[in-house]
């Protein structure tokens, strides 16, 4: 997770305006935004420095994985889609949006 102003806005609860289509799942949106504000998140400056260093190489990598807990996305890449959907639904309520907007 990368610390950012989006996460700070999430902690303040300012991400989902009243009356928004996303209001039924606002708690999930705020929770996701707040993930990047934890003690194990990577500061923006550190993340930017690492990215600039990698992309400035003579042969820049096609894919960059850096930041706190970024290894999780490497693991997710190899999981079947139904498992990823299950995990993201449990954590972020992805399927709840469709149910609550019908």
Whether the pLDDT of residue 19 is over 70: the answer is: yes
Q: What one-character-per-residue DSSP string does 6-37 give?
A: HHHHHHHT-SS-TT-TTGGGHHHHHHHHHGGG
> Rg of the chain over CA atoms, in angstroms?
16
Whether the pLDDT of residue 100 is over 70: the answer is: no
Closest CA to 29 of 48, 44, 9, 46: 9
Q: E strands along 1-102, which residues?
A: none
Whether the pLDDT of residue 97 is over 70: the answer is: no
């Amino acid at each position: 997770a990368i610390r950012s102003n989006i996460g700070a806005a999430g902690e303040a609860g300012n991400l989902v305006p009243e009356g928004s289509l996303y209001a039924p799942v606002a708690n999930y949106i705020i929770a996701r935004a707040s993930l990047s504000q934890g003690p194990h998140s990577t500061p923006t400056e550190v993340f930017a420095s690492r990215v600039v260093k990698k992309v400035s190489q003579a042969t820049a990598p096609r894919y960059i994985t850096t930041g706190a807990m970024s290894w999780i996305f490497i693991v997710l890449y190899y999981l079947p889609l139904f498992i990823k959907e299950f995990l993201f639904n449990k954590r972020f309520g992805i399927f709840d949006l469709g149910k609550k907007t019908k």
